[in-house]
Chain A
Amino acid sequence: MRFGIFYELSVPRPFAPGVERAVYENALEQVRLADELGFDTVWAVEHHFLEEYSHCSAPELFLTACAMQTKQIRVGHGAVVCVPKMNHPVRIAERAAVLDILSGGRLELGTARSSTWTELAGFEIDPDTTKQTWDETIRALPRMWTEERFSWQGASFSVPERAILPKPVQTPHPPLWVTVTSPGTELDAAERGIGCLGVAAASFKEQERRTAEYRRRIESCTPIGAVNSQVATLNFLYCHEDPAQAASTGLAMLGLFGQSNAQLLFTREAYPTRAYGSLANLAPAPARREGSPGDASGVPEGMAIGDPDRIVRAIKEWESIGVDGVNFLLNAMEVIPQEKVLASLRLFAREVMPVFRKKGGA
Chain B
Amino acid sequence: MLTGSADLERFARGAPRLASFDGEPLTLPGVELLQVTYELGGCAPESPFPPALLPTLPVLAVLALWRAESGPLGRFALAQLRLSCRSGVRPRQLLVASFADGEPARAALNERFAFGARAARIRLERFYDRVEGGVDVDGANALEVTGLSPLPLAATDLQFFSSMHRAETPKGLRLLQVDSELHVTRAERAQPRLTCFSADAFQLGPARLAHPVAAFVAVCDVTLPRVRFVCRADVPAFAGTERVG
Contacts and interface: CB of A to CB of B under 8 A. Distances in A.
Contacts of B214: 270-272
B39 interface: yes
B156 to A, nearest CB: 8
A278 B156 CA distance: 10
B55 interface: yes
Interface string A256-286: 0011111111001111111000100100000
B86 A272 contact: no
Contacts of B211: 121
Nearest to B212: A121
A258 B86 CA distance: 12
A270 B57 contact: no
B159 A262 contact: no
Nearest to A276: B157
Chain A contact surface mostly: loop
A199 to B, nearest CB: 18
Contacts of A3: none
A125 interface: no
A260 B187 CA distance: 32
Given A258-B89, A259-B89, A272 B1 contact: no
A272 B84 contact: no
B56 interface: yes
A121 B213 contact: yes
Given A270-B37, A272-B187, A274-B153, A265 B159 contact: no
A263 B55 CA distance: 7
B154 interface: yes
A268 to B, nearest CB: 6
A50 B89 contact: no
Given A265-B56, A270-B60, A121 B39 contact: yes
B124 to A, nearest CB: 18
B19 interface: no
Nearest to A128: B189
B91 interface: yes
A260 B55 CA distance: 11
Interface in A109-128: 117-118, 121
Contacts of B216: 272
A52 interface: yes
Given A265-B56, A265-B57, A272 B158 contact: yes
Interface string A42-56: 000000011110000
A300 to B, nearest CB: 14
B25 interface: no
B213 A263 contact: no
Interface string B188-219: 01000000000000000000000101101000
A272 B60 contact: no
A254 to B, nearest CB: 12
A263 B4 CA distance: 12
Contacts of A262: 54, 86, 88-90
Given A52-B1, A263-B55, A281-B89, A272 B39 contact: no
Contacts of A52: 1-2
B162 to A, nearest CB: 13
Given A117-B213, A271-B214, A272-B216, A265 B60 contact: yes
Contacts of A258: 89
Contacts of B71: none
A13 interface: yes
Interface in B37-94: 37, 39, 54-58, 60, 84, 86, 88-91
Nearest to B90: A262
A265 B84 contact: yes
Contacts of A51: 2, 57
Contacts of B37: 270
Contacts of A263: 1-2, 54-57, 86
Contacts of A268: 159
A121 B212 CA distance: 10
A263 B37 CA distance: 18
Contacts of A261: 89
Interface of A: 13, 49-52, 117-118, 121, 258-265, 268-274, 278, 281
The 6 closest A-B pairs by CB, nearest first: A262-B89, A265-B56, A271-B214, A262-B86, A272-B189, A272-B157
19 contacts: A13-B1, A51-B2, A51-B57, A52-B1, A118-B57, A121-B213, A259-B54, A259-B89, A262-B54, A264-B57, A265-B57, A265-B60, A268-B159, A270-B60, A270-B213, A270-B214, A272-B159, A272-B187, A281-B89
Given A121-B213, A273-B153, 20 more contacts: A13-B1, A13-B2, A49-B57, A51-B2, A51-B57, A52-B2, A262-B89, A265-B58, A265-B84, A269-B84, A269-B91, A270-B37, A271-B213, A271-B214, A272-B153, A272-B158, A272-B159, A273-B189, A274-B153, A281-B89
